[in-house]
A and B are shown apart, each in its own frame.
Chain A
Amino acid sequence: MIWADVRGLPVRETAERLRRTAGDVRVGVAGVPVAAEIAARWADGPSGAVARRRAVLSASGRFPGSEVGVAIVPPGADRAFVAEAPVALLEPPPSLLALLEGTGLLTCGALAVLSREAVEVRLGAQGARLWRLARADDPRRLFQRIPPLRPHASIDFVEYVITDPARLVFAANALITPICEELVQRGEHARSMTLSLPLANGRTWSRALRPGRPTASREIWLRLIRSRLERLSVPDAVNGVAVEVGATEPASVRQGDLFDRGFGSASAVEAALSRLIGELGEVVVRPENDAHPLAERRTSWRTRDPIEIADNRDRPTPPEAFAETPLTLQLLPEPREVRVDLDAGRPHRYHDRTGWRSLTVVAGPDRMSGGWWEDDAYAREYYRCVTGDGVLVWIYRDASRDRWLLQGWWD
């Protein structure tokens, strides 16, 4: 016995073609495996059985005139079809078959009308399994679920090629609209899409696009495509454009917080932040700090999820919110070299881009050194100094190179 998956195919034509192509075979088609199996085995049965089978088939009127050797069970008629079949076709164990024949249960229908409890008590677990099959209740799943086709669209430039990215954006705009509409109809959001450009040299340029969050928004996807095409650099002219959805997820609705004053605008915030991330890269960040001795190396910045921000998940608690607001250290992106005048070995004034700045108070030095075991040795003398105009600055002497640098200030 060979099982074939004919979902999505014209049933009658496919079955008859199978019969003609394979020669002397019997073909049974049904929505349930046990019904299809009985149909195939029973197709050349006794004439009376065939007549009964044809009567069942013609009851629906959907598949009239099936060839001999081809039995097609209409959708929804599986149980009625199986009920007509001899129970022996279900291949019960010999002892159970003898018992069934002894009690007069010769057809599947006769067994199926009994209650499950009555069958299980008298015939045991094997009888209960047979009872299910007699009701065309077959737990077997012979074939996997067919994944739906991913939305895609493409256009080929048959008579010309394109070298202007603006025209590619125009073409992509025409492609992305039906894709997003299909996503909306399916109730899905796309996590990624692939943009492919067949080139005149026969190769294909392709890039994956990922927004800050899964979305079916045409605006967001078009913005990502435009942003990518604006930076496009390909070795040859473009012959076409293709866009295909890579992965999807169900569109979900978030639970709202009645006491969150920002919930009403969550979707707008999410869209705005996704737009910024899509256009400018990883600009929405949170710090992750470690214990590195050097201040400029303590923090690494991690991108934040727009959904997390839209949901206000890290809202500070009131005691934290009403705490004092101290002046904190601000760090220059890179320590800036300055000239320093010393007085008795301590900074007296320093010179930066704007001129000399007098220092009214100087506290320090705080010395630190290390890193030599990593070939990145440092030796610094830090001073906290108040400038003449009241700013508390943090400067240090780099002892390894004998120079002074401004690291930051308190604000």
Chain B
Amino acid sequence: MSAATALELRRLLEQRFPDALPVTYGTTETVPTGVAFLDSILPSGGLPRGRLTRWRAGGGATALLRGACVRASSHGERAAWVDGARVIAGASWPPGPVLLRPAGEREALECAEVLLRSTGFALVILAGVRPNSMAHWRLARAAREGGAALVVVEGGWWTAGRARSRSSADAPAFAPDSRVTEWRVRALGPRRPERSLSSPSGGSAALDIETRIEAGSYRWRPGPSGPALAESVRVRARVRASGLERITDFQLPIAVHEHRLSLDAGLADRRGTPRPGRPA
């Protein structure tokens, strides 16, 4: 069967049975994120183990993935977060997951690969880096060999100048730079029909997740002169995989960053002290 015929057959099946899912979606082991709305639209109810998941961060990615890490840790498994951009604030980092802050992008990729190949982690998050095609291949292979769910967070807000798309409507299609991406692209259209449909990695559960915040969905606590503190926000998650595209909306709270009063501890207490020119 040629690749073009196989693609045509898949398209026909998707039209005829729009709710059908590949068998692997029901059998792949996963790491749940702990957010019911999101898990309900993920194949097999979580992030697939032994596969690479690409997460296009448009808002809420850190919160959701941090929650998934904590949940995995609480179940006796290990989760690691490779902070390639070194933007994780210490005050918000929970106990449990392992945090790595490598000095650069190459070091971050090395960290992720070593952790994946150790076979000791259930979930590895790689954030703040832009892996090239070769790195994607290596990471996908390491995830498959180590059995961990690997999530590569791309297009973070801080890298907006380099790779970010403004909205889902004008979002550019992913470059076919990994076997995972290849799978996704085939599900959406025959960008590279000359290659085989079967994934060389067997990565049929690979995911493409995109989260985005709607600007007008913030809930504010009012202050004397307008909005004071943001309390919650609505996040839209879009999940794409082979033969699957689902969208869900859910609400996430917003942690308050407390300002701390900064005063000189040595200030003299001058209450009651007579002022110059005024009677005591």
Binding site for B on A (CB under 8 A): 257, 259-262, 265-266, 268-269, 271-273, 275-276, 279-281, 283-289, 291-295, 298-301, 304, 309-310, 312, 314-318, 320-322, 324-333, 352-354, 360-361, 363, 366, 368-373, 382, 384, 386-392, 394, 408-411
| Distance A281 CA – B158 CA, assembled complex (angstroms) | 25
Interface size class of chain B, counting residues whose CB lies under 8 Å from the partner chain = 35 or more
6 A-B contact pairs sorted by A residue (CB < 8 Å): A262-B78, A295-B257, A301-B101, A314-B95, A333-B87, A411-B156
**Chain B residues, Cβ within 8 Å of A301:** 90, 101
Report the nearest A residue to B233, measured CB to CB.
A327
Find out whether the CB atom of A363 lies under 8 angstroms from the CB atom of B230: yes
Report the nearest A residue to B78, measured CB to CB.
A262
Find out whether the CB atom of A261 lies under 8 angstroms from the CB atom of B76: yes
Given contacts A276-B114, A321-B73, contact A293 B259 (CB under 8 A): yes
Question: Any chain A CB within 8 A of the CB of B228?
Answer: yes
Question: Any chain A CB within 8 A of the CB of B13?
Answer: no
**Distance (whole angstroms) from the CB of B151 to the closest CB of chain A:** 14
Report the nearest A residue to B79, measured CB to CB.
A262
Report the nearest A residue to B230, measured CB to CB.
A392
Q: Which of A314, A353, A394 has the most CB of B within 10 A?
A: A314
Which of B4-12, B103-111, B182-190, B270-278 forms part of the interface with chain A? B103-111
| Distance A281 CA – B87 CA, assembled complex (angstroms) | 19
Find out whether the CB atom of A330 lies under 8 angstroms from the CB atom of B87: yes
**Nearest 3 interchain pairs by C-beta:** A287-B90, A299-B90, A321-B74
Find out whether the CB atom of B255 lies under 8 angstroms from the CB atom of A327: yes
Given contacts A326-B252, A373-B266, A389-B215, contact A286 B99 (CB under 8 A): yes
Given contacts A261-B77, A283-B111, contact A331 B87 (CB under 8 A): yes
**Distance (whole angstroms) from the CB of A339 to the closest CB of chain B:** 14
Find out whether the CB atom of B76 lies under 8 angstroms from the CB atom of A262: yes
| Distance A304 CA – B34 CA, assembled complex (angstroms) | 26
**Chain B residues, Cβ within 8 Å of A287:** 90-91, 93, 99
**Chain B residues, Cβ within 8 Å of A257:** 76
Report the nearest B residue to A313, measured CB to CB.
B95
**Distance (whole angstroms) from the CB of B49 to the closest CB of chain A:** 13
Report the nearest B residue to A363, measured CB to CB.
B227
**Chain A residues, Cβ within 8 Å of B92:** 328-329
| Distance A120 CA – B49 CA, assembled complex (angstroms) | 75
Find out whether the CB atom of B218 lies under 8 angstroms from the CB atom of A386: yes
Find out whether the CB atom of A325 lies under 8 angstroms from the CB atom of B67: yes
- State the main secondary structure of chain A at its contact with B: mixed
Report the nearest A residue to B153, measured CB to CB.
A411
Find out whether the CB atom of B91 lies under 8 angstroms from the CB atom of A329: yes
**Distance (whole angstroms) from the CB of B144 to the closest CB of chain A:** 16
| Distance A386 CA – B85 CA, assembled complex (angstroms) | 22
Find out whether the CB atom of B255 lies under 8 angstroms from the CB atom of A326: yes
Report the nearest B residue to A302, measured CB to CB.
B90
Find out whether the CB atom of A411 lies under 8 angstroms from the CB atom of B77: no
| Distance A163 CA – B92 CA, assembled complex (angstroms) | 49
**Chain B residues, Cβ within 8 Å of A285:** 99-101
Question: Any chain A CB within 8 A of the CB of B145?
Answer: no
**Distance (whole angstroms) from the CB of B126 to the closest CB of chain A:** 13
Find out whether the CB atom of A389 lies under 8 angstroms from the CB atom of B115: no
| Distance A299 CA – B87 CA, assembled complex (angstroms) | 12
Report the nearest B residue to A354, measured CB to CB.
B161
| Distance A410 CA – B107 CA, assembled complex (angstroms) | 26
Find out whether the CB atom of A330 lies under 8 angstroms from the CB atom of B89: yes
Of A293, A312, A327, A382, which one neighbours B254 at CB under 8 angstroms? A327
Q: Which of B122, B166, B215 has the most CB of A within 10 A?
A: B215
Of B94, B118, B121, B166, which one neighbours A316 at CB under 8 angstroms? B94
**Chain B residues, Cβ within 8 Å of A273:** 98
CB within 8 Å of A: which B110-129 residues: 110-111, 114-115, 117-122
Question: Any chain A CB within 8 A of the CB of B229?
Answer: yes
Question: Any chain A CB within 8 A of the CB of B131?
Answer: no
**Distance (whole angstroms) from the CB of B78 to the closest CB of chain A:** 5
**Distance (whole angstroms) from the CB of B75 to the closest CB of chain A:** 7
| Distance A276 CA – B112 CA, assembled complex (angstroms) | 10
Find out whether the CB atom of B263 lies under 8 angstroms from the CB atom of A370: yes
**Chain B residues, Cβ within 8 Å of A324:** 252-253
Question: Any chain A CB within 8 A of the CB of B260?
Answer: yes
| Distance A276 CA – B100 CA, assembled complex (angstroms) | 10
Find out whether the CB atom of A363 lies under 8 angstroms from the CB atom of B228: yes
Question: Any chain A CB within 8 A of the CB of B64?
Answer: yes
**Chain B residues, Cβ within 8 Å of A288:** 90
**Distance (whole angstroms) from the CB of A175 to the closest CB of chain B:** 26
Given contacts A293-B259, A321-B74, contact A389 B58 (CB under 8 A): yes
